[in-house]
Structure 1
Amino acid sequence: MHNNPIGVFDSGVGGTSIWKEIHKLLPLENTIYLADSANAPYGEKSAEDILKLSIKNTELLLEYNCKIIVVACNTATTNAISYLRQTYTGVSFIGIEPAIKPAVLQSNSKTVGVLATKGTLSSSLFHSTVKNHAEGIKIIEKEGKGLVPLIESGKAASKECKDLLKALLTPMLAQNIDYLVLGCTHYPYLIPVLKELLPQHVNIIDSGEAVAKQTKVILEKENLLNKNNVSSLHKFFTNADVSILKSFLKNVDASIAVYYLDF
C-alpha cells in the first residue's frame, strides 16, 4: 500500500502545476496523473456534467490502486468533492480552493482580485469561503473565459492570451488590488505573462504549495508515505494531444512516461 501511487486528475494539463509541487515535496512518491483535456474546460460545464467527469476520473484512478486522490481542479473540487468523499470512503481526497484566505490576511489595500472559471466563481463553496474569510475586504471577481483553451493549446505566451489578460486585469487594477488569486490550476502557467502585465506591488498567489503540504499531512496521518528509497515512477495519461502534455513536463527531474488513453 505504501508504494501505491498518488492519483491526480484535472480537466487537462493545468493540474501539472499541482503535480510539480507534490513531486517537489514528496519525491519518493509514485504518481498517476489524468489530463482530461478532451473535456476541458470544466468551468463552463454544468454541475451535473462536472460531477460525472469527476466520478469517471476517480474510478479510473482507483483501478490503478491510488492510495490518495488529489482533485487538481478548482471547478471539480467545488462541484464534486463532497460527493466523492461520501461515495468512495476507502480513499482520502485532497481538494483545491482559491487561496483567498492568505490573500485577504496580507492585503494592505483591502482589495483582492480573483481570476477563476465560471464553475468556481458560481459555486457555493467559493461564496462561503468569501463570506467566511473576506469580511471588510473587497473581492473583485473575473471569469477567465478563454484562458484554459489557450493554455491547453500551448499558447500561454501568445499575443492573444496577453490581450485577453490585459482586458481582465484592467478593471481589477483600476480598483487598486494588491493581491491576485489564481483560482484555476491552469493559471500558474500564466505567471510569467502576469508578471509582465502587473505592477510590482501586486502579488500573485495560488494553491499549489498548500495542496502539496496537505497531501503530505494526510499521507503521514494515514501511515501511507512511501518508505522505499528508490526512484519514483510517474505515469501521465491524456485523452488529447500527448505532445502538449509532454511540453508541460519539460525539465522535470523525474522518471516520467506519457501515454494517450481514451477515457
Structure 2
Amino acid sequence: MSHTILVFDSGVGGLSVLQEIRQLIPGQHYHYLFDNARLPYGELSEAELISGCVALIEPMVTRLAADIVVIACNTASTLILPALRQCLSVPVVGVVPAIKPAAQLSKSHHIGLLATPGTIKREYTHELIRKFADDCRVELFGSSELVMLAEQKIAGLEPSPQQLQKLLAPITQSSLDVLVLGCTHFPMLKAEISQILGDQVTLLDSGTAIARRVRDLLPAGEENPEDETAVAYYTTAAISEGLTLSLKKLGFSKIENIKSE
C-alpha cells in the first residue's frame, strides 16, 4: 500500500528534500506544496509566517488524506512545528540545520552556517549551536538573495558566477572547513557554491537525514512503482514557463494553483 507524503516549502527549495525522499522511499504518492506568494520566508514576521503556513497546510492534509507532512524549510521549521502538531493528527517532520554532523566532521573545529536571515537570528538555531558545536568556532552567514538565485535556476535561468562570488565573498575569506547549507534552496546551488569555495570546504545539508526520518515514521509497506504519483501545488496565479517545464521534468504529472492572489 502506497503512502501519501506532503512536502511543504516557501518555494522550490524543498524539492531537494523531496528528491531524497523519493530515492529512499520509492513508489509512494508525493505531493509538493510551495507558498511562492510569500517567498522569501526569511523576511516575514513570525506571526505572519506561522498563521499563513498553518492556513495552507491544514486543509491540504485533509484534502489529500496525507500520512505525513514534511516542512522542508529551515525558516518555517524553527517556528511552525508546535502549531502544526497541535492541529494535525499525522506526523510532522521539520528540517534542522546540520550543525551536529558538521561539528563532528570538522577537523579545524571551525564551521559555518549559510541560511536565510530568519534562520540565522532564531534562538532555535543558536540553541543547536550551543548544544552540538560548543567546541567549534561557528560563523553565521545570512542570505535571501541566494534563495532567489536557486528559484531562478530551477526555472531555467543559470545564476551569474559574478553575483554568486559576491554573495559568497564573506565565506571565501574564512578559514572554515565545513559549511552547513541551512536552507533547502541551497543544495540546488551546491555545484556552484563548491566551485567558488573549493574542495577544502565540505558542504552539508539535511536532505538524507530527513528522508530517513520520514521512512522511520511511516508504517511499513511494499513499494508500488506502478501506483507512484507526484503532484505540485502553488499559491500564486501563475508560475513561469521555465518552472513548469522543470517540474514536469522532475516527474510531476499535475501542477495546480490552489490560491489565486
TM-score using structure 1 length: 0.89
Equivalent-residue separation in structure 2 for 1:168 and 1:113 (angstroms): 15
In structure 1, runs of 5+ residues without a counterpart are none
Partner of 2:30: 31
Offset of 1:158 from its aligned partner? 2.3
> Is the contact made by 1:103 and 1:112 (CA closer than 8 Å) also made in structure 2?
yes
228, 240, 243: which one pairs with 2:241? 243
The worse-fitting range, judged by mean Cα deviation, of 224-233 and 122-131 is 224-233
Partner of 1:187: 186
How far apart in 2 are the matches of 1:196 and 1:70?
30
Are the counterparts in 1 of residues 112 and 179 from structure 2 also a CA contact under 8 Å?
yes
CA distance in 1, matches of 2:246, 2:14: 10
Q: Name the SS of the counterpart of 2:226 in structure 1.
A: coil
Aligned to 1:105: 104
SS of the residue aligned with 2:168? Answer: helix
Q: Which residue of 1 aligns with 2:17?
A: 18
Aligned-pair identity (%) = 33
Q: 1:256 aligns with which of 249, 253, 258?
A: 253
- Using the TM superposition, give the Cα deviation of residue 242 of structure 1 relative to its aligned residue in structure 2, in angstroms: 5.2
Distance in 1 (CA, whole Å) between partners of 2:248 and 2:223 is: 27
- The alpha-carbon deviation at position 227 of structure 1 amounts to 5.6
* Cα 1:194–1:156 shift into 2, 3 Å: farther
- Alpha carbons 1:36, 1:238 under 8 Å: kept: yes
Given that 1:235 and 1:257 are in contact with CA atoms closer than 8 Å, whether structure 2 keeps it comes out as yes
Task: Please say if residues 32 and 232 of structure 2, whose CA atoms lie closer than 8 Å, have aligned partners that are also in contact.
Answer: yes
* Separation (CA, whole Å) in 1 of partners of 2:244 and 2:56: 20
**Which structure 2 residues correspond to residues 129-140 of structure 1 after superposition, within 5 A?**
129-140=128-139
Contact 2:74–2:94 (Cα < 8 Å) also in 1:
yes
Alpha carbons of structure 1 residues 248 and 177: separation in structure 2 relative to 1, 3 Å: farther
- Quote the RMSD (CA, aligned, Å): 2.0
Describe the shift of the 1:5–1:26 C-alpha distance in structure 2 as closer, same or farther (beyond 3 A).
same
1:231 aligns with 2:227: yes
Tell me how far apart the structure 1 counterparts of residues 149 and 168 of structure 2 sit (CA, whole Å): 17
Matched residue SS, 1:230: helix
* Equivalent pair of 1:242/1:259 in contact (CA under 8 Å): no
**SS of the residue 1:113 aligns to:** strand
Q: Where does residue 146 of structure 2 map in the other structure?
A: 147
Distance 1:153 1:38 in 2: 15
Deviations 1:12-59 (A, max 9, x none): 111111111111111111111111111111111011111012202321
Residue 159 of structure 2 is matched in structure 1 by 158
Deviation per residue, 1:218-263 (Å, 9 max, x gap):
11xxx264664533011101234053433444653x4632223326
State the AA in 1 paired with 2:144: K
TM-score by length of 2: 0.90
Shift of 1:204: 0.7
1:70 is aligned to 70
**Contact 2:4/2:29 (CA < 8 Å) preserved in 1?**
yes
Cα pair distance change 1:193/1:227, threshold 3 Å: closer
CA contact (8 A) 2:111 2:178 kept: yes
